[in-house]
Structure formats: structure tokens, C-alpha cells
Amino acid sequence: MPASGAVTRSTLRQQIADALRDEVLAGRLQPGEEFTVKQIAEGYGVSATPVREALVDLSAQGLLDSDQHKGFRVHEFSVDDYCGMVEARSLIVDGIFRNLTHHSICREPLLSVRRRAEEAGQAARAGNLDILIGYDLRFWRELAALTGNRYIADFLHRLRVQCWVFAVPHLRGRTDISDGLWQRHEQLADAVVRGDADTAHTVIRQANAHGLAWAKKLRDLTTPGRPGE
């Protein structure tokens, strides 16, 4: 019985963490927004313990800031933070592709990655942000999982979630968000399926350049004395 209770609490903790992460990604919890364990617990109709544990988990992932006296606050990532994330994920992805292009991979996982790429690409071209975020995260998690190293997959997933947390407030409410969305998931997946390391690296370099160019545009628009002010 105690073991069953522990599993139930652990599952509830993860469910709350996932739900709150989705709230942040959807923009319903804004950067800088503050809340307490009690507010979240009442909102979800659960006890405070799994909520507190879920919030601590999200803080460890860099998505929340904790304050001993005020509760928790959605972390505000800066443009410089985002640029650092892009640099970090580029190093991780480069290692992933060195691994993938030198090892044979079963066809079934590759087909699943290709399907995720199609879904993410279609959502990006349609400008459907909510659908894109879900499929983009699944695409990269499945792609990283092909290495067989869960630490690599988990680290990359965390970076990509943080990138989206930064990007969402800048994309919501805009009529045209195409400049902020990378759309070449399918080309990358095809290169992996073929074992074409050169094309995969080229696509990844272009993806990183896209992200950094978008960040530079945001900086120019928000820095006093720069174009757009």
C-alpha cells in the first residue's frame, strides 16, 4: 500500500509539473507572473505537497524562480539568455548528429521521427504556434533518443523548452510569426534517414543562424537608440 501511494503522488507531481509547463508555453502564465503553492493547489483541487514538489521541479529546470516569502515566479529569459541557449543546443545537436550518422538505426524509429517532422513543419508553415510547440518538442526528443543516451535527450529537451518559454511572449498576438519559426524539420529528418551528415549539419547551422538572427531583431526592437525605437 505505501508503494502504491508513493507512485500515485509521484504521478500527480509530474502531471502538475507538465500542466504548469504547458500553461507557461501557452502564454497563460506570463514571464514574471507570481503565484503561491496554495493558489495552484486550489486551482487544481489537489493538496499542497505534490504542487510544491512540482514547482520545485520546474524551478530546477529553470522555468520558475522561487522566493521564500512570495512563492514562485515564472522566469524571465533575456535575449542574451536565448542566444546562450542556441549556442548550447548547437553543441549538443552537433554531437547527436556525429553519433547518428556513424551508427545504423532501426527503420521504425526513423519513420516516427519523419512523421513528427512533417507535423511540425506543417504547423510552422501554417503559423499554428500551439501545435508547433508540441510537435517540435516531440520531434527533437525522439531524434535525440536515437542516440540511446537519455541524458543527452533530457538535456536537449530542457533547452528547447526554455527556448520556447522565451519565444512565446514575443510571438503571441502577432499576425505574422513566420520570421520567428524554423520550418525545416522535414529536410533535417530526411538527411538523418539517408545518413547524410553534411546536409544535416548544414540544416542545423541554418536553424541556429535563424534563431540568432531573430534574437538580434528582437534586441534591435527593444533596445533604446536602436532601429525600431
pLDDT in tens, 39-87: 999 999 999 999 999 999 999 999 999 987 789 999 999 999 999 999 9
Q: Do 224 and 212 touch, CB atoms closer than 8 A?
A: no
- Between 194 and 79, name the one with better pLDDT: 79
Confidence (pLDDT) at 107: 62
Confidence (pLDDT) at 103: 56
H or E stretch at 128: none
H or E stretch at 196: none
Confidence (pLDDT) at 6: 43
- Local confidence band at 227 (pLDDT 50, 70, 90 cut-offs): very low
Cα 191 to chain centroid, rounded: 22
Confidence (pLDDT) at 180: 74
In this predicted structure, the answer to whether residue 173 has a pLDDT above a threshold of 80 is: no
Tens of pLDDT, residue by residue over 8-33, are 556 899 999 999 999 999 988 999 99
**Local structure of residue 3 (DSSP, 8 states):** H
515566479: which residue's cell? 73
pTM score? 0.85
SS (H, E, C) 19-65: HHHHHHHCCCCCCCCEECHHHHHHHHCCCHHHHHHHHHHHHHCCCEE
In this predicted structure, the answer to whether residue 156 has a pLDDT above a threshold of 80 is: yes
Confidence (pLDDT) at 182: 84
Cell of 209: 543562424
In this predicted structure, the answer to whether residue 211 has a pLDDT above a threshold of 80 is: yes
In this predicted structure, the answer to whether residue 224 has a pLDDT above a threshold of 60 is: no
Could you give all domains of the chain from N- to C-terminal order, each with its CATH number? 2-74 (1.10.10.10), 79-222 (1.20.120.530)
As a whole number of angstroms, the distance between CA 89 and CA 208 comes to 9
Tens of pLDDT, residue by residue over 82-115, are 999 999 988 888 777 776 655 555 667 788 889 9
As a whole number of angstroms, the distance between CA 222 and CA 216 comes to 10
Average pLDDT, the chain: 85
In this predicted structure, the answer to whether residue 217 has a pLDDT above a threshold of 70 is: yes
